[in-house]
Amino acid sequence: MVRFNDTKSDSDTLGAGGILGSVVSGVRQNLSGTLQHSAVLATGLLNEARLGFNRTKAVDQPSANSLFLGNPQVNGEIGLLVVPGLSTVGIPSFLNQANFQNNFQASNDLSWTRGRHQFKFGTSFRRVHVNGGNLDNSLRGQLTFLNVTDFLAGKPLSYVRNQGNPLIGLRRSEWHSYAQDDWKPAANLTFSLGVRYEINTAPREAANRLPGKYLLPTDFNNLAPRLGVAWQFSPKSVLRAGYGVYFNVVEMTFLGLTRFNPPLLQNFTAFRPQFPNLLGNAQAGIPSGLVIPNPETSTPYAQHVNLTLERELFSPNSVLSVAYVGTFGRKLSRTRRTNGGENLPQAQRPDPALGVVNLLETSANSSYHALQVSWSQRFTEGLHLRAAYTFSKFLDDVSDIASSNTNIARNVLPVDETSLAADRAVSDFDLPQILTLTGIWRVPRFGSNRWLNGWSLTSLVTMQSGRPYSLFSNTFNPTGTNNNRINDRPGTLVRNSGAFIPIRLAPGITPDQLRPVAGKIGTLGRNSERGAAFYDWNFSLAKDFPIHEGLTFQVRGELYNAFNLTNFSAVDNVLGSPTFGRHTAASDPRRAQIAVRIVF
């Protein structure tokens, strides 16, 4: 079997970064190929060998007027404009990419059926190349004003800029091997026993540009057992259970942030700079934004547990499934600020010779518990309905990793470096309830009329809880990071998640009454709020036109969000913001498309 794919898309993002007239041109491309050979070597002995290659490309190019102030010829380029009381303006890092990733893969799987046993053995090798990075705005300069008055007068407070090469080339090898035995001691009972061993080498820089102190050791303790059982204890009922350990890899992005450390990059700061030469009186700054990997970093992993009961109901075409699913993540990646945040006075830092230090470590945990119920019913040859409901709870310490060394998102950093448990709460991805209803109806034939036959209708309904989010006070925590949360004071907030303004200050309450005093941490927990619920109904109507045996021409009309429901997806959660408590984004409105397929 040979498969090849080349998918490419171009896009222009207008008004990016809050800059009128700016355009960011982007290219996204995925190139992949697979070669597979399957052979029956003997009775009951099957071998499958594969070779694969995948290349992804993501490149953005902001237009000249996206760098909108100063004279680039004299280091006056501006990538980020910060004025307290106004929105920060600047092209976001995710629209400043120059990323290329290559994956080379080889694998072999051998299946051997002998008596009541089915043995499986396999090994795979993957070589990963990650080149490039995000061109952070610090490389184009950050201009900060003290207040709006100084901004209107053209009197900046500071100009900070990094100079150097922010791109990097990382390499990693992955070797995985496994053995498994599916043993059937009785016709109604099957045991699955297996073990998997993984070696994921710690990333290394292609040109040896990273000092040894920033490199991680390879973790060789990645032994993953698997256990499963399936028991048909009655003609219409099956009980399935399973447990397994599944290893992840330390994200390449995680280590790639070390490319911002000196001597690869050098920081310059100018106090009260003058236009147009904003770096005219700049001084080499104290090393800040350092990214230090903890040498005790381990491979992240998760333990998966499931217990499922399947029962035939009215007929063999009607099946009910009830399951418990649990996932427990351990040694997950996170970023800490061990030397204080951007706003901590230099003299108060544990190491006054350094600025911000981002410590990368694998100390976070997560847990997921879910009750999953599904019902599938085939009424006739052409009518099939399915309903699925999930009731769950997802807890974690942090839900994302940092993608830069400066201006890290508030929700990624701990609010209290001395008590990481203060961030233990429902995950950013916690969806307590999800209900999906699916229906497929292939309309019965009406004689031999080609226009009345070949129709099918598909419907998908999704209803789910809103996502949680935190309320930030827009003040600094005791270590100088702007991620402090508000104080929890009963009766001070009016909440209505489905309204256009889901959070309001109660009458007579001012923002200052909810802000913690300097040096204190807000008492409201992480992800204390819940966004609006999500409702979606999609339809598709298709018509098949048989050309001849083995060849069919199909026309399909698809309608997404058919009832044009407004599903809000984000809330301004920063106290004191002009739009605090208002929804700031929504999911797609109704969309329609027509597709043509040739099936052969």
pLDDT 10s digits, 358-393: 999 999 999 999 999 999 999 888 899 999 999 999
Tokens read off for 123? 């090994």
The answer to whether residue 513 sits within a structural domain is yes
Give the domain range for residue 598: 409-600
pLDDT at 73: 65
The full 3-state SS of 10-79, as one line of letters, equals EEEEECHHHCCCCEEEEEEEEEEEEEEEEEEEECCEEEEEEEEEEEEEEEEEECHHHCCCCCHHHCCCCC
Residue with the two structure tokens 């309320």: 471
The answer to whether residue 285 sits within a structural domain is no
DSSP string, 251-263: -HHHHHGGGGSTT
Question: Pick from 479, 481, 508, 483: which is nearest to 493 by CA?
Answer: 508
Name the amino acid, one letter, at 425. A
pLDDT at 309: 97
Domain count along the chain: 1
Other CB atoms closer than 10 Å to residue 66's CB: what's the count? 22
For 372, phi then psi, to 5°, come to -120, 125
The answer to whether residue 516 sits within a structural domain is yes
Q: Are 363 and 330 in contact (CB under 8 A)?
A: no
- CA dist., res. 486 & res. 490, Å (int): 12
Tokens read off for 442? 């292939």
- CA dist., res. 218 & res. 8, Å (int): 35
The answer to whether residue 115 sits within a structural domain is no
Counting as low any pLDDT under 70, the low residues of the chain are 64-77, 136, 447
pLDDT at 285: 76
3-state secondary structure of 288: coil
Q: Are 477 and 341 in contact (CB under 8 A)?
A: yes
Q: From the centroid of its chain, how far is CA 108?
A: 30
- CA dist., res. 423 & res. 143, Å (int): 32
- CA dist., res. 325 & res. 241, Å (int): 10
The answer to whether residue 447 sits within a structural domain is yes
Model pLDDT for residues 222-269, shown as the tens digit of each residue:
999 999 999 999 999 999 999 999 999 888 877 788 888 887 888 888
Other CB atoms closer than 10 Å to residue 183's CB: what's the count? 14
The answer to whether residue 461 sits within a structural domain is yes
The answer to whether residue 546 sits within a structural domain is yes
Strand partners, 244: 226, 304
Residue 118 CA: distances (Å) to CA of 190, 193, 433 = 11, 11, 38
The answer to whether residue 38 sits within a structural domain is no
pLDDT at 379: 87
pLDDT at 68: 54
Strand partners, 321: 310, 374
For 360, phi then psi, to 5°, come to -95, 125
pLDDT at 250: 84
Q: Are 22 and 65 in contact (CB under 8 A)?
A: yes
Residue spans of alpha helices (H) in 257-383 = none
pLDDT at 72: 61
Residue spans of alpha helices (H) in 155-199 = none
Model pLDDT for residues 507-528, shown as the tens digit of each residue:
999 999 999 998 899 999 999 9
